[in-house]
Structures are given as C-alpha cells and as structure tokens.
Structure 1
C-alpha cells in the first residue's frame, strides 16, 4: 500500500464567497487541493496549491485537518 498525503484550501473572501476551481478529472467544481511534496509541510502545500491552481497568494488563517489515505496499488 502507498500512503497519499495532501492539503486543501477553503478560501473565503469578505463577501463569504468560496473560491472553487474546475476539476481536471471531471466537470465538477472543487476547492484547491493537491499532494504534499517531499520535505513540504501541509501548510506550505496548501499555499502552493492555491497559487498554482488560481494564481492567488493566500495566508493560512486557521487549520482544519490533515488527511492521510492509504492507496491500494
């Protein structure tokens, strides 16, 4: 089994609107997310993924959860 670790961002603006991106695997809209790279913290991953997927620079205001999942390979 292979472990996958990732981060996702829930970005809310002053109008209480949530930032979403179009999924590359479907027509669904999702929050920015991605896998943690070697040597990267979950917070750094979150910031990097938002920048890569949206072009926005963000600051982490609150931590919710780090999710780890085992993949059957």
Structure 2
C-alpha cells in the first residue's frame, strides 16, 4: 500500500465515523514536567503521538509518531493505560472514535525542542501540572490522560 492507512480508509468512507488506533508517549524532564506539542491541525496542546499504520505494533507507532512530532527518539518504558471512549471531529470533518495506547517513554536521543516545528507540530514545550491546568487549549481526552498521569492513578474503562 503506497498511501497511509488513514488516507486509504478515508478514500472508502469519506468523513463517516470510524475507529482508529493511536499511540502516544509521556516524556518528562528532570523537573517532572511533561512534553507537549502544539498541534498544527487543531491548535491545541497535546501528548505527542498518532495513528497506527497497517503492520505496526502500538509500540512501533508510539516510537515513530513521537519522533515525527518531536524529533526525539524514544524507548517505551511501560504502558500507562488504554483509552477507548472518546470521539473527535477533525477540522476537515473526519469523525473518529479513538483507541489510544498511552505509554511512558524515555529519550534515547538529544532533547532539542527549542526550534523544532513541522506540519504536525507548531511548538514543543515542557509543562508542569499547574501550567497544564492553566492551558485553555488541551483536549478533554489529553486532559484526562495528563490528570491521571500526574495523580498516578489510572482508571479502567475510559
């Protein structure tokens, strides 16, 4: 298949709601702050991650997407939770129910975020829990994930 999975599926179903699988990672700095990306599509702060391609494991997706969106190579430490109960509508009208594997990750390459940006990422920054609570542009889904991460308590059934 020469096109990515989402483009392929969307060519069949248009903007109708589909289930898509995602994987993302939480990377912290020495102060315990979490790295977030300012997304290019939704203009919201988010946990780096993205959609699984055919033939990929959720671990491979996490590593690939984290690198694509941050320029940082990571290794996955452990699974934090799986979230399955969120629906989203993208700016282009695509509707999805998401299945998200959330991992804790560790950097295995230099963390150089000051000038990193691309089509998917407008900016990168480390945030404390208090700073995240003050952000107006964090999605409900990512807000829940970050809240659970900082509390150290992950609910099942999301």
Does residue 22 (structure 1) correspond to residue 38 (structure 2)? The answer is: yes
Within the candidate set 27, 36, 44, 1:11 is matched to: 27
* Structure ranking higher on relative contact order (CA contacts 8 Å, 6+ apart): 1
Aligned-pair CA distance for 1:14: 2.1
Cα RMSD between the aligned structures? 2.1
- The two structures have a TM-score, normalised by structure 1, of 0.81
Give 1 or 2 for the bigger CA radius of gyration. 2
Aligned-pair CA distance for 1:3: 2.3
Does residue 40 (structure 1) correspond to residue 56 (structure 2)? The answer is: yes
Task: Tell me the number of residue pairs that the alignment of Structure 1 and Structure 2 aligns.
Answer: 72
Aligned-pair CA distance for 1:68: 4.6
Gaps of 5+ in 1: none
Gaps of 5+ in 2: 1-16, 88-95, 98-158
Mapped contact 1:50–1:56 kept (Cα < 8 A): yes
Q: For 1:18-55, what per-residue CA distance to the aligned partner results, in whole angstroms no more than 9, with x for missing partners? A: 11111122332111011000010001100111100010
| Structure with the higher helix share, 1 or 2 | 2
- Which residue matches 1:62? 78
